[in-house]
């Protein structure tokens, strides 16, 4: 058996087309606005921010970019975030991580207004996610749900096993799957019998950060395998957390790397920004 390949590029394009249409239909109102805050010259961060701005342009989201020097102080970043919080053109604020050492990341993330926290990292939004209330949800886990639903994969009643418990992927993905009535198991580096637990999954999400860690023997025949991992190999190529070549012979559906979860993350950021503009309009902000 060869698994169906879940095409994240196509599904992300469909999400962007939907957003673009909606923004075009609401031309009379102010367009959604996204501000990206970068501190320092991290090349990967610069590429991410450039891609995000390009995608904003594609769908009609107004975007701004602020780059502070590597040695910027915490108060400089807080001052910028405060200005963006008060700017009515801006509906989403994205602080590109990682931040330099002298800056307390949590303090910055919690300074972003929860109403503009399109990354879903503010504690208010973390709480709302756990309580299954409307709020902003981190983009990568939201992208996983979009991939599953666009591919017609049933979540209700499925056993979802997530390997990885980070605040930005594993934990929020677990909440989203639980709220959609999956039975959820979260695994991590101290989990015993990992292979056995993974092989019970109907939906297996790998968010580990170790290239090709999930092998064929850890996957149930016909399972859906979502590979979140992005790992740079010594030869410069990218690899996921799943050994795609062997697992594709056993899984029912699988996401490739690149071209699976990755493109969804930016698409969901745009979707959250549009959602923020709608909430802001409804509340007369
Ligand atoms: P973290 O490093 O924050 O978390 C990794 C998790 O994997 C931890 O919970 C860790 O367990 C667990 N883990 C590590 N080793 C093992 C092991 N041997 N067995 C079982 N569990 C293990 O990573 P992130 O969640 O931020 O990212 C995960 C991957 O996803 C990375 O490759 C990252 O680049 C990628 N990523 C991709 C995105 C996208 O847009 N596609 C977005 C975000 C991340 P413990 O908690 O016990 O240490």
Strands of the chain (E only): list them.
4-5, 33-39, 62-68, 92-95, 159-163, 183-187, 203-206, 224-227, 231-232, 238-239, 253-254
pLDDT per position as a tens digit, 177-220:
999 999 999 999 999 999 999 999 999 999 999 999 999 999 99
Ligand 1 pocket check for 142: Cβ under 6 Å = no
**To which residue do tokens 């019970």 refer?**
200
Ligand 1 pocket check for 197: Cβ under 6 Å = no
Please tell me the predicted confidence (pLDDT) of residue 44: 85
Q: Where in the chain is the domain with CATH 3.40.50.10860?
A: 29-114
Dihedral of the alpha carbons of 122, 126, 128, 132, in degrees to the nearest 10: 150
Query: Does pTM top 0.95 for this prediction?
Result: yes
Which top CATH class is 138-261? alpha beta
CATH numeric code, 29-114: 3.40.50.10860
Q: Which run of H or of E encompasses 74?
A: helix 74-85
Average pLDDT over the chain reads 96
Q: Which two tokens stand for residue 158?
A: 């499925």
- Is 119 one of the catalytic residues? yes
Strands 224-227 and 231-232: unpaired
Please tell me the predicted confidence (pLDDT) of residue 43: 86
Residue 283 reports pLDDT greater than 90: no
Residue 126 reports pLDDT greater than 80: yes
Q: Which residues contact 141 (CB under 8 A, 6 or more apart)?
A: 169, 172, 173, 175, 176
Q: Which residues contact 85 (CB under 8 A, 6 or more apart)?
A: 93, 111, 112, 113, 116
pLDDT per position as a tens digit, 77-116:
999 999 999 999 999 999 999 999 999 999 999 999 999 9
Q: Which run of H or of E encompasses 207?
A: none
Residue nearest to atom 18 of ligand 1 (CA): 189
- Residue 231 has what DSSP assignment? E
Dihedral of the alpha carbons of 102, 107, 109, 110, in degrees to the nearest 10: -170
pLDDT > 70 fraction of the chain, expressed in percent and rounded: 99
pLDDT per position as a tens digit, 244-280:
999 999 999 999 999 999 999 999 999 999 999 999 9
Give strand pairing partners of 63.
Answer: 34
Q: Where in the chain is the domain with CATH 3.40.50.720?
A: 138-261
Strands 203-206 and 224-227: parallel
- Among candidate residues 7, 115, 117, 119, the one labeled active-site is 119
Q: Which run of H or of E encompasses 220?
A: none
Contact 153, 178 (CB under 8 A): no
Residue 233 reports pLDDT greater than 80: yes
pLDDT classification of 138: cutoffs 50, 70, 90:
very high
Contact 37, 105 (CB under 8 A): no
pLDDT per position as a tens digit, 145-181:
999 999 999 999 999 999 999 999 999 999 999 999 9
With CA atoms as reference, report the closest residue to 93 among 114, 116, 76. 116
Ligand 1 pocket check for 259: Cβ under 6 Å = no
CA 214 / ligand 1 centre spacing (Å): 13
Please identify, by atom number, the ligand 1 atom nearest to the C-alpha of residue 208: 7
Please tell me the predicted confidence (pLDDT) of residue 263: 96
Ligand 1 pocket check for 192: Cβ under 6 Å = no
CA 228 / ligand 1 centre spacing (Å): 8
- Gap between the Cα atoms of 38 and 162, Å rounded: 30
Q: Which residues contact 197 (CB under 8 A, 6 or more apart)?
A: 161, 185, 187, 191
Ligand 1 pocket check for 186: Cβ under 6 Å = no
For the purposes of burial, counting CB atoms within 10 Å of the CB of 194, is it exposed (0-12), middle (13-18) or buried (19 or more)? middle
Radius of gyration of the chain (CA): 19
Ligand 1 pocket check for 210: Cβ under 6 Å = yes
Please tell me the predicted confidence (pLDDT) of residue 176: 98
Residue 124 reports pLDDT greater than 90: yes
- Gap between the Cα atoms of 132 and 90, Å rounded: 26
- Is 202 one of the catalytic residues? no
Render 123-171 in DSSP notation, one character per residue. HHHHHHHHTT-SS---HHHHHHHHHHHHTT---TT-EEEEE---TTTHH
CA 92 / ligand 1 centre spacing (Å): 26
């Amino acid at each position: 058996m060869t698994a169906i390949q879940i095409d994240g590029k196509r599904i992300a394009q469909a999400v962007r087309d939907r957003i673009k249409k909606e923004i075009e239909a609401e031309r009379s109102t102010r367009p959604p606005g996204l501000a990206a805050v970068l501190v320092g010259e991290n090349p990967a961060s610069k590429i991410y921010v450039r891609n995000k701005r390009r995608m904003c342009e594609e769908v009609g989201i107004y975007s701004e970019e602020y780059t502070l020097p590597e040695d910027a102080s915490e108060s400089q970043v807080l001052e910028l975030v405060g200005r963006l919080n008060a700017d009515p053109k801006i509906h989403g604020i994205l602080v590109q991580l990682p931040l330099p050492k002298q800056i307390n990341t949590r303090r910055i993330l919690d300074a972003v207004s929860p109403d503009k926290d399109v990354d879903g990292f503010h504690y208010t939004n973390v709480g709302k996610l756990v309580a299954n209330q409307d709020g902003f949800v981190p983009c990568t886990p939201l992208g996983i749900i979009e991939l599953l639903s666009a591919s017609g994969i049933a979540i209700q009643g499925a056993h979802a096993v997530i390997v990885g418990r980070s605040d930005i992927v594993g934990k929020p993905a677990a909440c989203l799957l639980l709220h959609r009535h999956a039975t959820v198991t979260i695994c991590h580096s101290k989990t015993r019998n990992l292979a056995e637990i993974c092989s019970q999954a109907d939906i297996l999400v790998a968010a580990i950060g170790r290239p090709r860690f999930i092998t064929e023997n850890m996957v149930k025949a016909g399972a859906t395998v979502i590979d979140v991992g992005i790992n740079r190999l010594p030869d410069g190529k990218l690899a996921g957390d799943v050994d795609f070549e062997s697992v594709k012979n056993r899984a029912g559906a699988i996401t490739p790397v690149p071209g699976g979860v990755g493109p969804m993350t930016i698409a969901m950021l745009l979707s959250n920004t549009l959602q923020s503009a709608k909430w802001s309009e409804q509340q007369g902000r």
